[in-house]
Amino acid sequence: MNYALDWSVIPEAMPFLVQGMLLSLGLLAASLLGGLALGIGLALMRLSPHRWVSGAATVYVSVFRSIPLVLAIFWFYLLVPLLIEAVRGTFTPIGPMYSAFIAFVAFEAAYFCEVIRAGILSIRPGQTSAALALGMTRAQTMRHIVLPQALKVMTPLILTKAIIIFQDTSLVYVISVSDFLGAATKIGQRDSRLIELYLFAGAVYFVLCFAASKCVDIYTQKKRAAA
Amino acid sequence: MNYDWNWAIFFARTFTGVGRYADWILSGLALTIGIALVAWMVALVLGVLLGVARTLPWRPVRVVAATYVELFRNIPLLVQLFFWYYIAPVLLLPQTLQDDLNAAHPVLVQTATAVWCLGLFTAARVCEQVRAGIQAQPPGQFNAGFALGLRRSQVYRHVILPMAFRVIVPPLTSEFLNVFKNSAVALTIGLLELTAQSRQIGEFTGHIFEAFIVATALYFLIAQLIAWLMARLERRLRLPGAEVHR
């Protein structure tokens, strides 16, 4: 090895790296909350008896599920400022960060739609019949009977997906957003210490994702034992 | 929105005067497909070996395979790519080999790195599917094989793996699709695959929407084609009476 590693850059870079990590976690939270909300909406649309409604949701989901996340990030990076301009009438530079948030919500919603749809379909039809027989409306049945059970069934899948989303947030690198990896890159380039910063970033991602996946495993096993 | 749509832009001569913009799209598409297919071969071979290793009765082998999976599944693909491209040569290769790498054609080095990285990354995911497929087989299958006098390698080859593969065709389909999508990450090390080419056309011509729409449509077609092919494969492999294990 003919490269002398110098780890002293890491402590100095800490405040900026922590900021980056907060942004990564923010992207994860937005993808989970926004993506699940939009995903539930899309799943209900896909199960709708109206052909146009279910067709529109199907097209949305199949397009987003067949393109790379990187391309989706570029798309929203391009579209969001134009949409804001169309709405407000004037050009407003908002920076790539908001585009990144919207891209993640829109992209992950397509995945969550499929998960939730599978969850809804896994609930026995007798549950719906029973609720309707009790005098609940279709909407009440979905909200109080079917959806809570569907989400519960799908929790392990959603949690596993959350770990993957957390890793995927690093892709905002392509539009120069300072998430954890983006922050590491910027400092690494400034100090010519990319190797140390990338090794450190990789180690941090590994520790967090490994610990999280072990927790999900334990949770899933407990759940299976309880069932 | 006053955007000047011009779909004929793909047939215009490029900025450099060589070829047309459609050629850029085609070369990007070829690179995306090429990288994905070769990486998929790597992932399949390595993934099956690792998946078998995780089910063997020898602890050290199982631990090595499990460590591989945890390592490659819990680090973002982009970080892995940067590791193989920027870090591994400097830290792991002797100076003479590094000089050779620097002298080699950059596109060659970038392509090889992307294939290697995607292959190793996907192998960890394939491994877990193969392991699940093997563990889904009833233990009686192993016992029956041994009772017939087969060696362990023969039981895997002739009894367990053929059944396991049939069970895991659907999850492997989505991993196969993911290789195509993940290959776009290679643009971060300068490789001009489909997404990068469409961006480049946008930058040179100002017609970014047309370029992105074409790229999106091509990815969509690839996904539909793979889903169709894998569904056909699944139907062809189906054994009468064996569909129930799942």
User: pLDDT, tens digit, for every residue of A157-175?
Assistant: 999 999 999 999 999 999 9
Please write down the long-range contacts of A8-16, taking CB distance under 8 Å and 24 or more positions apart: A9/A187, A9/A188, A9/A191, A9/A193, A9/A196, A9/A197, A10/A196, A10/A197, A10/A200, A13/A183, A13/A184, A13/A187, A13/A191, A13/A197, A16/A178, A16/A183, A16/A186, A16/A187
User: Is residue B126 assigned to a domain?
Assistant: yes
Q: Which pair of structure tokens corresponds to residue B97?
A: 């080999």
Number of H helices, E strands in chain B: 12, 0
Q: Angle of helix B169-182 relative to helix B208-237, nearest 10 degrees?
A: 160
- Among chain A residues, the shortest Cα distance to B188 is held by A174
Q: What are phi and psi of B18, to 5 degrees?
A: -100, 120
CB pairs under 8 A between A and B: 104
Query: For residue B185, is pLDDT > 90?
Result: yes
Is some CB atom of chain B closer than 8 A to the CB atom of A118? no
Give how many domains chain B has, as a whole number.
1
Residue A204 CA to residue B78 CA, distance in Å, equals: 14
User: Is residue B216 assigned to a domain?
Assistant: no
**What are chain A's domains?**
9-226 (1.10.3720.10)
Provide the shortest C-alpha distance from residue A145 to chain B (in Å): 27
Task: Let me know: does A77 contact A177? Beta carbons within 8 Å.
Answer: no
Query: For residue B240, is pLDDT > 90?
Result: no
Mean pLDDT (chain B, rounded): 93
pLDDT in tens, B53-87: 999 999 999 999 999 999 999 999 999 999 999 99
Query: For residue B241, is pLDDT > 50?
Result: yes
Provide the shortest C-alpha distance from residue B174 to chain A (in Å): 10
CA distances from B229 to B23, B165, B170, B236 (A): 27, 16, 11, 11
Query: For residue B89, is pLDDT > 70?
Result: yes
- Determine whether the interchain pair B219/A213 forms a contact, defined as Cβ–Cβ distance below 8 Å: no
What pLDDT does residue A85 have?
86
- Determine whether the interchain pair B222/A66 forms a contact, defined as Cβ–Cβ distance below 8 Å: yes
User: Is residue B54 assigned to a domain?
Assistant: yes
Average pLDDT of the residues in A180-207: 96
pTM for this one?
Answer: 0.93
Is some CB atom of chain B closer than 8 A to the CB atom of A78? yes
CA distances from B133 to B40, B55, B145, B239 (A): 18, 11, 17, 16
Is some CB atom of chain B closer than 8 A to the CB atom of A7? no
pLDDT in tens, A87-128: 888 877 778 999 999 999 999 999 999 999 999 999 999 999
- Determine whether the interchain pair A209/B220 forms a contact, defined as Cβ–Cβ distance below 8 Å: no
Percent above pLDDT 90 for chain B? 83
On the CB side of B232, CA atoms within 13 Å amount to 6
Q: Which pair of structure tokens corresponds to residue A32?
A: 């989970």
Query: For residue B246, is pLDDT > 50?
Result: no
User: Is residue B244 assigned to a domain?
Assistant: no
pLDDT in tens, A22-60: 999 999 999 999 999 999 999 999 999 999 999 999 999
Query: For residue B132, is pLDDT > 80?
Result: yes
- Determine whether the interchain pair B224/A66 forms a contact, defined as Cβ–Cβ distance below 8 Å: yes
The CATH number linked to B116 is 1.10.3720.10
Higher per-residue confidence, A95 vs B134: B134
Is some CB atom of chain B closer than 8 A to the CB atom of A63? yes
Residue B110 CA to residue A116 CA, distance in Å, equals: 39
What pLDDT does residue B239 have?
83
Q: Name the burial class of residue A160, with classes exposed (0-12), middle (13-18) and buried (19+) by CB atoms within 10 angstroms of its CB.
A: middle
- Among chain B residues, the shortest Cα distance to A165 is held by B76
Neighbours of A55 (CB within 10 A): 13
Residue B66 CA to residue B176 CA, distance in Å, equals: 22
Under an 8 Å CB criterion, which residues of B touch A?
1, 70-71, 73-80, 82-83, 86-87, 90-92, 95, 177, 180-185, 187-188, 195, 198-199, 208-209, 212, 215-216, 219-220, 222-224
What pLDDT does residue A2 have?
65
What pLDDT does residue A34 have?
97
What pLDDT does residue A93 have?
75
Higher per-residue confidence, B15 vs B172: B172
Percent above pLDDT 70 for chain A? 99
Domain that holds residue B158: 30-194
Is some CB atom of chain B closer than 8 A to the CB atom of A87? no
Element (H, E) at B40: helix B21-53
Q: Select the residue of A67, A167, A174 nearest B181 (Cβ to Cβ).
A: A67
Interior/surface letters B194-217, b for 16+ CB within 10 angstroms, e for the rest: bbbbbbbbbebbebbbbbbebbbe
User: Is residue B49 assigned to a domain?
Assistant: yes
- Determine whether the interchain pair B74/A213 forms a contact, defined as Cβ–Cβ distance below 8 Å: yes
Q: Which pair of structure tokens corresponds to residue B224?
A: 């539909």
- Determine whether the interchain pair B216/A67 forms a contact, defined as Cβ–Cβ distance below 8 Å: yes
